[in-house]
Amino acid sequence: MALIKTVKLTKETKQDLLQTLLKRSPNNYGAYEGTVAEIVGRVREEGDRALFAYTEQFDKCTIDAESIVVTETEIREAFTLLDADFVEVMKKAAVNIRTYHEKQVRNSWFDVQEDGSILGQRITPIARAGVYVPGGKAAYPSSVLMNVIPAKTAGVKEIIMTTPPGPDGKINPGTLAAAHIAGVNRIYKAGGAQAIAAMAFGTESIPRVDKITGPGNIFVALAKKAVYGYVSIDSIAGPSEILVLADETANARYVAADLLSQAEHDELASAILITTDETLARQVETEIETFVSSLSRREIIGKSLENYGYILIADTMEDAVDAANAIASEHLEILTADPFEVMTKIHNAGAIFLGEYSSEPLGDYYAGPNHILPTNGTARFFSPLGVDDFVKKSSIISYSRPALAAAHKDIELFARREGLTAHENSIKVRFEETV
């Protein structure tokens, strides 16, 4: 039996697939909401006392107001535990990420009219950002770089990070090194929903932030959902996903390898190939079988492919593109004779990788664009994390008397039609002597 399902792309199979993928949505985590609400509520009410208690309960680590903050000594020690080559690679990746995000920076603008009116937009960074970083086996230094560097580039003055400690009170050394390279101001030993609540409401030890970003498990995702509105968040991220659009020119071995690069994330990850070539589809099936037997996370991959792995055979590239836009995948690879031409027809995707040497992990680690992307079809209306996520925009309005005089009767009429006479009066009172 093949590890991955191969089906003909039809209206029915596309709809079935969309329904299947929706089952992975974080909106279906309702069974855990009560537990998360209790944790968030207790941390909000009790502050450090609840935070420390939950850290001992869930992370088996005893911390207090002094030990919760990662010290400079711990950061220096982290660098000694890492290969120098890896540290250099992180530094190179940081440069690429910073260079890419610097191009996203926008300036405030003002438009002065002849009548003396001034309209504009003032762009200012948020004051304090909070980054959540998972611990243990799910510690990814790359995510530290992707969260922190856009905030630094936006001009955020204070960036704090929370990450769960191990039972020994230690933090993953790669996480600490990445945080130092990216420019985090303070790191706190706190994880799970309790860390999200601490950043959202503040405790005696952890300051309240304006925005929380970063990945996490179900409890972290639900905690971010629960505190949204008290603070801003990046998104409620779902499981990872990749979609490959390919024609007969694609290399089956490359396609299989790229599909598996996402299937290994977790059992809910989705890996989909849509191709116009049935021969390629069969070759990819074979290559997947060959690769999986030698991969370290083959059990996770097997479950992922069994539940959410698909090869869809389309009659035309137009049908394939239509399905890709409906799925709105987090990662989209285009492996066709002319990937740039196909790309012009794509409207919904988190990140688009063009050509056979633009494999998805290039974006995960090194190229520069952010790897924190919309999942579960939300690429229809969400964008990758970027500089704009860490700034606020204020509208600027300044009218001279002549400018307002030319418009005041129109404004008063609008206010009267809406029944808001105080609005009308606020304008009218400025021209009483002319009435």
Is 74 catalytic? The answer is no
Catalytic residue of the set 101, 180, 265, 331: 331
Q: How far apart are CA 417 and CA 420, in angstroms?
A: 8
Is 204 catalytic? The answer is no
Q: Of 94, 70, 91, whose CA–CA distance to 82 is shortest? A: 91
Q: Where are the alpha helices (DSSP H) in 155-217?
A: 173-182, 192-201
Rounded to 10 deg, the angle between the 33-46 and 192-201 helix axes is 50
Question: Are residues 149 and 178 in contact, defined by beta-carbon separation less than 8 angstroms?
Answer: no
- Cα 3 from chain centroid? 29
The residue type at 412: E
Q: How far apart are CA 38 and CA 194, in angstroms?
A: 10
Q: Where are the alpha helices (DSSP H) in 81-140?
A: 84-102
Q: Residue with structure tokens 């709105």?
A: 328
The strand pairing partners of 129, in sequence order, are 159, 211
For residue 202, how many other CB atoms are within 10 A of its CB?
A: 15
Catalytic residue of the set 330, 333, 356, 360: 330
The strand pairing partners of 109, in sequence order, are 121
Enzyme catalytic residues: 330-331
